[in-house]
Homo-oligomer: A and B are copies of this chain.
Amino acid sequence: MTIRVQEDDFDLTRIYSELREAPTGQHTPGAISLFVGLVRDMNNNHTVAAMTLEHYPGMTETRLTAIRDAAMTRWPLGKAIIIHRVGKLYPNDQIVLVGATSSHRQAATEATAFMMDYLKTEAPFWKSEQTADGVTEWVSTRESDMTARTRWQETK
């Protein structure tokens, strides 16, 4: 399963084992890159007590699949995976995992950064944060996320 949107937590160990196995008929990967996003306990100078992730079922999976496919086309990857959680999460909980394998180190690391940058700007997820005193606020987008995505359009 290369794209997963789920309420349940995910197990990095299991995903790593899957990535480490060569795809059928291919050689061992040589390089595995992984990125995990966790719920921070602090954001913009306020304490985060909990976070809720809303998404657009259907469109989310379509966008994530398109992002993964774009990475597979752009770099010589063995495997690529995107897992994103939805629902209520707490500080230090895992939110997102992106991983890629390749026989080339830079292909794996660049593809991972690429998938995260596109996920951040195109996948229909919305975070609301609950502060310690019970106030809930929608998280704003950051300029830096759009800048990060744009760089992939300029150069390979």
Q: Does A23 contact B (CB under 8 A)?
A: no
Q: Does A86 contact B (CB under 8 A)?
A: no
When all copies of this chain in the complex are counted, the total is: 2
Q: Does A136 contact B (CB under 8 A)?
A: no
B40 with A30: CB separation less than 8 A: yes
Q: Does A16 contact B (CB under 8 A)?
A: yes
Q: Given contacts A103-B40, A105-B116, A109-B113, is CB(A33)–CB(B31) below 8 Å?
A: no
Q: How many residues of A contact B (CB 8 A)?
A: 34
CA–CA, A106 and B91, complex, Å: 20
- Residues on B with C-beta less than 8 A from A20 are 38, 92
Q: Does A140 contact B (CB under 8 A)?
A: no
Q: A30-46 vs B: 1/0 string, CB under 8 Å?
A: 11111111111110000
